[in-house]
Structure 1
């Protein structure tokens, strides 16, 4: 019993050490905007993403791979998602970033999630009238106690700083029943992470928010983690 407890404590210490090292490397990663653009381009090209009708995105914070520019594009708030391509003397994409499918056993299953509600008011104040495809809907998470809840996102203006400073849906909006969603309705989840390994195991911040949420996902839900190459263990 004592040996088992010591083993658990050693695992916790090792995870904490890996977390500190990965966060330090990520903080020192140069050119995050360009690399994030390349990572998001790779995400857009994934057949699983193109097939998904409902996609849960994290809203980036701090040094994470930037998702907000892509969200604005998918919501129709910008006309295009492009950036100057890297010059030959810059690091090639294969050495700069990684997109990890953190549920590789399901990556080839066609997403067949519950469609989003039909009664979302697209003309409500602050909502986008842009080019988001009608057959693809976006969700973002927010903290409620020890759990993550999900919200149908229509415009970036619907977000405000919440727990830990991360952008979350404004409180009046998240109370609307028609804007609430569950993980069972999600075809593909874009997951943040502190680090990933080559077998697609994920190391988070240690609070367990995503672990608890994803434990309830449908088996065929595709999980994709976005990471700089420095985050791959």
Structure 2
């Protein structure tokens, strides 16, 4: 069931036009930067979109323009884990890395402890309204999220088509606190 849901949602997301992805991503970006938690955060981790994920470029630009520290996830395929790394220039500091996702140039790789993060933006394939997340299947984010301080706000960015009744969550799966789509903000834990 999980594999079928992943395949179906990814196909629907892939079918979105670039114009539609950019339009919806802009709406989502405006909602993210309006959050009080975003305004107060000094260290923000944002993923770099691929495969028609919600584009984080506008948010990243606002993070850097606001004088905040910007971290991006670097995939350590050997250890199957995410290493947060700081970048100062977007997109100039980036080159394609693991899985074709942009990462810092090797000479600019600057790892940062997960404990320093105030807010993290999380990608995924599908989400339910309880904050459960269906990822790509390798468990990178589940392992990463358990290393954050408990008060760190975990914000999933998704298109409305990625919201489903059930993602078949398992006990080891980590939940997100908020899901922001082009149509709404879903609060998954008490605020």
Which has the larger helix fraction?
1
Is structure 2 residue 126 aligned with structure 1 residue 195? yes
The structure with higher relative contact order (CA 8 Å, sep 6+) is 1
Query: Which residue does the alignment assign to 1:22?
Result: 9
Report the structure number with the largest CA radius of gyration: 1
- Give the Cα separation in 2 of the matches to 1:133 and 1:27: 32
- Give the Cα separation in 1 of the matches to 2:140 and 2:83: 10
- Give the Cα separation in 2 of the matches to 1:219 and 1:71: 23
Q: 1:49 aligns with which of 38, 41, 46?
A: 38
Is structure 2 residue 157 aligned with structure 1 residue 226? yes
TM value normalised by structure 1? 0.66
Query: Which residue does the alignment assign to 1:107?
Result: none
Which structure 1 residue ranges, 5 or more long, are not aligned? 1-13, 76-131
Which structure 2 residue ranges, 5 or more long, are not aligned? 165-191
- Give the Cα separation in 1 of the matches to 2:132 and 2:39: 24
Mapping 1:1-233, distance limit 5 Å: 14-30=1-17, 31-75=20-64, 132-134=65-67, 136-144=68-76, 145=78, 146-156=80-90, 157-174=92-109, 179-233=110-164
TM value normalised by structure 2? 0.79
Matched residues, number: 159
Query: Which residue does the alignment assign to 1:83?
Result: none
Q: Deviations over 1:70-100 (max 9, x none)?
A: 323433xxxxxxxxxxxxxxxxxxxxxxxxx
Question: Structure 1 residue runs of 4+, over 2 Å off?
Answer: 72-75
Contact 1:29 1:230 survives alignment (8 Å): no
What value does the CA root-mean-square deviation take over the aligned residues?
1.2
Contact 2:33 2:59 survives alignment (8 Å): no
